[in-house]
Structure 1
Amino acid sequence: MEADSDVPPLVVDIDGTLTDRHRAIDPRVFPVLREWPDRVVIATGKAMPFPIALCEFLGIERAVVAENGGVVFVEATDTLRLEGDKEAAIRVADEYREAGHDLGFGRIDLANRWRETEVVVNIDQPLAPLERIATERGLRVLDTGFAYHVVDPSVDKGRGLETICSELDRTPAEFIAVGDSENDAELFDVAGESVAVANADEMALSRADRVTDASYADGFLEAVAPYRG
């Protein structure tokens, strides 16, 4: 579809932004994403198969920032980039277990099964020892409200969007970004317009250009309403 010059490209988070509080995607967002007249980028803390599947089933071009910027895929240029120290994250997880804790996702652990650059821990597990071990390894812990992500400090969603833009001859300043968590803060810093949904955490709220009155997917729909006619 030819881009409408009055509608910017869109970069959007999934959990807490396109979903309800239980992480179920609100079907009302589907036509918005499918019919958006410019490029759509999905930027998430989830492993790459999840945003790729979302794009696939929506029938939109696959341009994704996954694992909080550690994984970037651009279908248009057949580009896949992996950044960050996965081995260091695994060592953090091993030490966390040795200290008597658990990642909290059960024996199969679908949350970590397909991750390429980071490790996640269930939000029900103790945070303080995880942060201590990660800091000792030169990593940081992101609290997305749904999980604790052990990540390399050299990666974030903002840099992921910059990577996508370098592949597509665009600039981050062209984009409107919508999100809800501290892992969206750097994305908000580089986007031309940033919107936090009302359920966003304090960091995301403080870095956003505007905040919606509504929460979760209702907030997303409110955020993009000015561009939908």
Structure 2
Amino acid sequence: PVIDTFELNRAVYRIPTDEYRATVTTLTELLDLAPLLPKPTRNLSLGERMKCEIAAALLHRPQVLFLDEPTIGLDVTMQRRIRRFIAEYNRRTGATVLLTSHYMADVEALCKRVIVIHHGKLLYDGPLRGLAERFAPFKILQLKLHEGAPTDAVQRLVAQRAEIMTLEEGLVTLRIPKALTAPLTAQLLNELDVADLTVQDPPIEDVIEQVFAQPGDENRAQVSTQGC
């Protein structure tokens, strides 16, 4: 059973009994482990096993936590639970969390700091939200037109000034240079029958792609993230 694995870890790390019990209680609460503790490990689902493995690694209360792909293979609900747990564990204990993940949602939810290294030189060191400002010189504008409004005028208005990413019945997505965002948005609102409009930074995946899309190996960049 899972609880036997926890007991083994307690013995390996020589954790005092009172401290061990308090830690198990806290982790059981944060990760909702109560129904899993008596189960054999082989009977756990991937998500359940991931939660138990994280708990086992935290029994001795490490001050630095390395997490390698903690949400890989998990469904959306379980991914969110793991992210919430990591953030709450950091808040309660003050432990440093170093995270590696192919899921940019993990990075967005947990990492406060991003470091970009270019050919051995530091290109960026700052908050995640500033990464788009540095590497993505465009905004994403989404338009929803009123029912029956023609979309052909969009092509005329944005010609050579923006990239039309999608153009469907009543729905338009544009990629606009930042310098043109304000004037072009004003013109679209003035000349089109707009029901709704949003302007936002590109998805973090697109920003990271911009970083690594530089030509030549000498221009490749490395992105590191530091969590909580």
TM-score, normalisation: structure 2: 0.28
**Larger Cα-atom Rg:** 2
Q: Which has the higher strand share?
A: 2
TM-score (structure 1 length as normaliser): 0.28
Higher helix share: 2
